[in-house]
Amino acid sequence: MNRAADFDRERLSDLMAVEERRFLELHPRSAELAESGRRHLLAGVPMPWMTRWPGGFPVHVAEASGARFVDVDGIEYVDFCMGDTGAMTGHGGGGLDAAVARSTTMLPSEDASWVADELHRRFGLAKWQLTTSATDANRFVLRFARHLTGRPKIAVIDWCYHGTVDETLAILGPAGSVISRPGAIGPQVDPATTTTVVPFNDVDALDAALAHGDVAALLMEPALTNIGIVLPRSGYHDAVREITRRHGVLLVVDETHTISAGPGGCTQAWGLDPDMVVMGKPIGGGFPVATYGMTEELAVTLEPILHGHEADVGGVGGTLAGSAMATAAIRATLSTTLLEADYERMIPLATRWAEGVAGAIEEHTLAWSVQQLGCRAEYWFCPLPVNGADAAAAVDDQLDAFMHLWALNRGILMTPFHNMALLSPAHTEADVDRHTEVFDAALATLT
Ligand SMILES: Cc1ncc(COP(=O)(O)O)c(C=O)c1O
């Protein structure tokens, strides 16, 4: 069987050159706009990661609806990226346009308590707050955790991603050291002074790391999703909960991506019992909102400081967080989408997608694999990894770029980061089958 490493790299580079020419021919207007963007946009794009799209410049979008979008050159695509979860409810759905046509007053609206009740219903935690991004939500829960425990450090999983939170941009280095994640720009302080890093799926390492007594919180995704999907081993979460409790460490579960598992994320689907939950992007249907929740016990301790005169300079804030617009966006989204009935449609579509990919891998006798977490699925150029370091070692930039550009040139958008597909209620079986066909043709060309 072929491992990714066995491919003839020169041939792959020739195939890539063909795809790059094709991309240029298909996208003259996007090319013009990319050129104009280089005038006054840093790196030519509004956000740095937009430089990562294959083809030399990003396709520029004209309009999007449901699971599709049309670019400025008039080409229609099936979107399997869905704003990297931000638009997993479908583009332009859920009555969002009407809901957000409000301003901000710094006062709560009638949507606020509805939203908190609904978050409680889904995730089980007692008290909730709103932020403008999951990054902010993570920053704030870490502050609260340090305040509550009086401990200086936080623990994260090796090769995690929780947004642009300084303490989390750390990985395990040689001999168990903690180092900055490759690519981290201008770290405030050496992350070894703020952060303990533990491998996913390794309970002994977690136990040993937390035994030092200096960690306030373990912040983790229930399954890794940002270095590809890595699922927990059986019994892992029970052990994590027992170990964190035993060492007095708060357990914070970031469900921003793992909401793919169901309406209350893995917390609900797998019966997890965290002290705090962070939930981001999709709950606003693409509008910038996020939230964090905590147990009653933690809330009772925190509420007195939040009523204090200095609450607004406590390092937990955001003028536009919790605005009438933000709460309206969440209510519009959670009352109409990400419901049980949506998952009954989305998850079988993801299974069909994964089966299509697995079938093609088998047909072409490759030692690749495919993983699924609810309505999210992803293929690997290797057998399934069990932790972040294995997953990171399996990343193949050349092959990634080829697969992404091959798909894009045939009307299929995958996330720019790895080989993930997200299935929304707006996708159809025909969209999935089109992906299978295009994926199969890529393998036929490669092998
Ligand atoms: C698990 C997780 N948490 C937090 C974030 C940060 O979200 P945002 O960029 O919206 O702040 C991300 C982004 O991908 C994420 O995957």
**Ligand 1 pocket check for 260: Cβ under 6 Å:** no
Note the pLDDT of residue 101.
Answer: 63
Which residue's CA is the closest to the ligand 1 atom numbered 6?
A: 163
Distance between Cα 280 and ligand 1 center (Å): 7
- Confirm if 407 and 55 have CB atoms less than 8 A apart: no
**161 CB within 6 A, ligand 1:** yes
Q: Which residues contact 345 (CB under 8 A, 6 or more apart)?
A: 425
Structure tokens at 378: 């992803």
> What residue type is assigned to position 343 of the chain?
Y
Which atom of ligand 1 sits closest to the CA of residue 160? 1
Residue 256 in contact with ligand 1 by CB distance below 6 A: yes
Say how many Å lie between the CA of residue 8 and the centre of ligand 1. Answer: 36
Instruction: Output the residue whose Cα is nearest ligand 1's atom 2.
Output: 162
CB 423 within 8 A of CB 349: yes
Is 226 touching ligand 1 by the criterion CB < 6 Å? yes
Q: Whose CA is closest to atom 5 on ligand 1?
A: 163
Please, what is the end-to-end C-alpha distance for the chain in angstroms? 11
Pocket flag, ligand 1, residue 254 (CB < 6 Å): yes
148 alpha carbon to ligand 1 midpoint, in Å? 24
Structure tokens at 323: 């605005």
Residue among 297, 287, 286 at smallest CA distance from 326: 287
Query: Ligand 1 atom 4: the closest Cα is on which residue?
Result: 162
Tokens encoding 135 = 């990054």
The CA-CA-CA angle for residues 379, 384, 390, to 5°, reads 105
In the prediction, which pLDDT does 7 show? 80
Atom of ligand 1 nearest to the CA of 138: 4
Provide CB contacts within 8 A for 125, sequence distance 6+.
119, 274, 276, 277, 293, 294, 295
pLDDT at 2: 58
pLDDT for the residue numbered 4: 59
Rg (CA), the chain: 22
Comparing C-alpha atoms, which of 260, 259, 206 is closest to residue 233? 206
Q: Which of 434, 440, 425, 421 has its CA nearest to residue 79?
A: 421
Question: What pLDDT is attached to residue 97?
Answer: 67
Per the CB < 8 A criterion, the answer to whether 213 and 243 are in contact is: no
- Report the nearest-CA residue for atom 9 of ligand 1: 163
Instruction: Give per-residue burial for 211-228: e unless 16+ CB within 10 Å, then b.
Output: eeeebbbbbbbbbbbbbb
Q: CB 203: neighbour CB atoms within 10 A?
A: 16
Amino acid at 151: R
Q: What are phi and psi of 293, to 5 degrees?
A: -130, 160
At 413, list the tokens. Answer: 């958008």
Q: What is the pLDDT along the chain (447 residues), one digit of tens a residue?
A: 555 557 889 999 999 999 999 999 999 999 999 999 888 888 888 877 888 888 989 999 998 899 999 999 999 999 999 988 888 988 876 666 666 666 677 788 889 899 999 999 999 999 999 999 999 999 999 999 999 999 999 999 999 999 999 999 999 999 999 999 999 999 999 999 999 999 999 999 999 999 999 999 999 999 999 999 999 999 999 999 999 999 999 999 999 999 999 999 999 999 999 999 999 999 999 899 999 999 999 999 998 888 877 777 888 988 888 888 899 999 999 999 999 999 999 999 999 999 999 999 999 999 999 999 999 999 999 999 999 999 999 999 999 999 999 999 999 999 888 899 999 999 999 999 999 999 999 999 998
Longest dimension (CA), the chain: 67
Contact 142, 217 (CB under 8 A): yes
Cβ atoms 141, 252 nearer than 8 A: yes
Separation between Cα atoms, residue 126 and residue 134, nearest integer Å: 19
What are the distances in angstroms from CA 217 to CA 92, 144, 184, 250, 370?
Answer: 37, 9, 22, 4, 32
221 lines ligand 1 (CB under 6 A): yes
DSSP state, 174? G
Check if 371 has its Cβ closer than 6 Å to any atom of ligand 1: no
Q: State in Å: Cα 281 to ligand 1 middle.
A: 7
CA torsion angle 277 279 283 284 (round to 10):
130
Shortest CA distance to 77 belongs to which of 61, 58, 93? 61
Question: Residue 140: how many CB atoms within 10 A of its CB?
Answer: 23
In three-state form (DSSP H/G/I as H, E/B as E, the rest C), the secondary structure along 68-98 is EEEECCCCEEEECCHHHHCCCCCECCCCHHH
Residues 429 and 246: their CA atoms lie apart, in Å, by 47
Residue from 281, 287, 418, 420 to probe ligand 1 pocket by mutation (most atoms less than 8 Å from CB): 281
pLDDT of residue 51: 85
The residue nearest atom 13 of ligand 1, judged by CA position, is 163
Whole-number Cα distances in Å, 107 to 100, 321, 396: 15, 11, 49
Is the Cβ–Cβ distance between 336 and 150 less than 8 Å?
no
Per DSSP, what are the bridge partners of residue 286?
none
Across the strands, what pairs with 180? Answer: 170
DSSP 157-220: ETT---SS-GGGSEEE-GGG-EEEPTT--S-SS-GGGTEEEE-TT-HHHHHHHHTTS-EEEEEE
Ligand 1 within 6 A of 168 CB? no
